[in-house]
Structure 1
């Protein structure tokens, strides 16, 4: 499978009114880079709205005692994400979505404008296919959902590199990748069975990276 074939498949969703395409996968699978590549290739008819924009703020996580688990299903505003997907399916005026800033590790409200002319919304995240309420409602709002599944050693190496880029020591990066990230991955990997299409990162070559 090449990137162009993935672009071609996504392109089949164009020209049929507003459509939503999901890209799921475990932490480090390459979801965000693949999603960005698809949107870049499809041009102004497509936009990326990621699940990560619904991370709960660090102050909320600390108040709940869940900051160390940041990235787990319960550390997102899942209901808010569902509400946004529902609006994106039906709105006839601009919808504004949040963006997750990886530099600050915080969400920025209203950072992405989705105008009524947009034909394809690409959304990516770990839990799009999770069979747990309220996440189990996400798949029903998507026209297709793909699952990106790299070899586990590739995925883990990418996670370590991501954490190092964002300021963790080598040991700290490995602890995060093998600890909270791995626990989240073990939740996500079995959800591949619910996907419409499963992709291997090796098939997409340089098109994929941490995500």
Structure 2
């Protein structure tokens, strides 16, 4: 009898970069080189080749998922004898600090919005659903910012419920990375999009299940498809330190920046500070809350040290 291997038991089908790129087929490139440059986050090395090899095949796959989901939605309507509001397709994008979630989310938004039907594609980050700094300081959670307990989960769940139910408009709070806080009385309005992308550290996190079996919604319950951006720990640490050093000479120099106190650090001091923050906060959050959710994603994009995605794993149906 043939011995079964771990690969036989995996719920994922894995592809090399070349194998995945071949799945693009006739998906057209709808972005220009300048647009790709503008979509790139700090220190990401996104280029046209990355979009062609990775994101165009993913766009093609998502078009199949969206079409199939819409057909299922209409079939369920007929079965129930009801006529519901249009149901948006929600995509979750998760992963560690500094892994490039924002770039992935923006590229997907740009590509999906240029499908032939020109769907409305909105993008929301969960940063806006963090508790304000005043609350975090009062609760002793400033060192836990980005951990699950630092988010206003009830408000985030209400927002996703409103979007999924087709209520309009649904409001998402705005977060400022300059002041490192939620901006009071400012919102992004999401008005019944065809597709919503939700990007954040812990969007695939579940938390503890109740012993009595009571129904508790999780953020990922509202997702129709989810993506996890993955990279090795040493690579993530290097990217975080590099980003910190760049920000020290740019955004941190603004007197209004929450991190302005770091702008005059020497190179050695800046590296030590960045490593300390990474190991004390971000690495702990990665181990305890983010990495354990990787296997809950429908698609895992594994990045190499070059920032290029070199392996794609798709959950089997």
TM-score by length of 2: 0.59
Shift of 1:88: 0.9
Q: Does 1:58 align with 2:133?
A: yes
Deviates more, 1:103-112 or 1:31-40: 103-112
Question: Residue 106 of structure 2 corresponds to which residue in structure 1?
Answer: 36
Residue by residue, what CA displacement relative to the aligned partner does 1:128-179 show, whole Å, maximum 9, x if unpaired? 2223059971121111112111222222222223333153432211111121
Which residues of 2 match residues 66-145 of structure 1 at below 5 A? Answer: 66-108=141-183, 109-116=185-192, 118-133=193-208, 137-145=218-226
What is the distance in 1 between the residues matched to 2:151 and 2:222? 18
CA contact (8 A) 1:14 1:119 kept: no
What is the distance in 2 between the residues matched to 1:77 and 1:193? 24
Question: Residue 201 of structure 1 corresponds to which residue in structure 2?
Answer: 303
What is the distance in 2 between the residues matched to 1:136 and 1:96? 19
Listed as ranges, the gaps of 5+ residues in structure 1 are 207-211
Q: Does 1:152 align with 2:152?
A: no
Shift of 1:205: 2.8
What is the distance in 2 between the residues matched to 1:32 and 1:156? 17
What is the distance in 1 between the residues matched to 2:180 and 2:63? 32
Question: Residue 281 of structure 2 corresponds to which residue in structure 1?
Answer: 180
What is the distance in 1 between the residues matched to 2:164 and 2:174? 19
- Return closer, same or farther for 1:163/1:79 CA change in 2, 3 Å cut-off: farther
CA contact (8 A) 1:49 1:99 kept: no
- Return closer, same or farther for 1:95/1:110 CA change in 2, 3 Å cut-off: farther
Shift of 1:10: 3.1
Residue by residue, what CA displacement relative to the aligned partner does 1:96-141 show, whole Å, maximum 9, x if unpaired? 212222111112354322122x111000111122230599711211
Deviates more, 1:132-141 or 1:96-105: 132-141
What is the distance in 1 between the residues matched to 2:217 and 2:296? 11
CA contact (8 A) 2:231 2:303 kept: yes
Shift of 1:81: 1.0
SS in 1 for 2:287: helix
Question: Residue 92 of structure 2 corresponds to which residue in structure 1?
Answer: 22
From the CA coordinates, give the structure whose radius of gyration is larger.
2
Listed as ranges, the gaps of 5+ residues in structure 2 are 1-19, 21-53, 71-86, 114-118, 210-215, 253-261, 263-269, 310-317
- Return closer, same or farther for 1:162/1:77 CA change in 2, 3 Å cut-off: farther
Query: Which structure is richer in relative contact order (CA contacts within 8 A, separation 6 or more)?
Result: 1
CA contact (8 A) 2:88 2:166 kept: no
Residue by residue, what CA displacement relative to the aligned partner does 1:171-208 show, whole Å, maximum 9, x if unpaired? 211111121000000021121111111111249739xx
What is the distance in 2 between the residues matched to 1:145 and 1:176? 28
What is the distance in 2 between the residues matched to 1:201 and 1:62? 35
What is the distance in 1 between the residues matched to 2:275 and 2:175? 23
